[in-house]
Structure 1
Amino acid sequence: MNGSTIIPIAILVIIFASVTTIVASYFKLQRHRADAAALAEYRKLAERVTEQQGEMSAQLAELGERVKAVEKLLQSVG
């Protein structure tokens, strides 16, 4: 191989490597976007669960107060 055939081969190798790198970067970016979307969905779910836990705590506190009132009523009757 002489110098005139090495240059086009080197150029083709550089172009192929560039295209391969671009394609790999594109798919990595797409995967990152999908992960970010899933993470946002998990964040919304966590916020909703936290809100529901607060509501359940309030309901349990109210139920505890009602039970105490019923116990007082039963003690006063008995």
Structure 2
Amino acid sequence: MRSWPVQDAKARFSEFLEACIEEGPQMVTKRGAEAAVLVPVEEWRRLQAAARPSLKELLLSDEARADLELPTRGGARRRQVDPAE
């Protein structure tokens, strides 16, 4: 993945966009730190389709919620309490 300083990405946006379309995701850095990634729309759609729904989306959906994975219960250890205290 190619890295672009934010000022270069802004100044040469057409080149930046073409690199994304032809080469794939392009990293944008701000003051040397990774700040954002420009990805082709096909990859974005693939990532969105593969993403799990948010809690808000789950709670507001009309679909059954029985398929959710629930953690096993009863694995917690309890501390011993001395009745003399």
Task: Point out the structure with max Rg over C-alpha.
Answer: 1
Name which structure has the greater RCO, CA cutoff 8 Å, separation 6+: 2
The TM-score range, normalised by the shorter chain, is under 0.3
TM-score by length of structure 2 reads 0.22
TM-score by length of structure 1 reads 0.23
Larger helix percent: 1
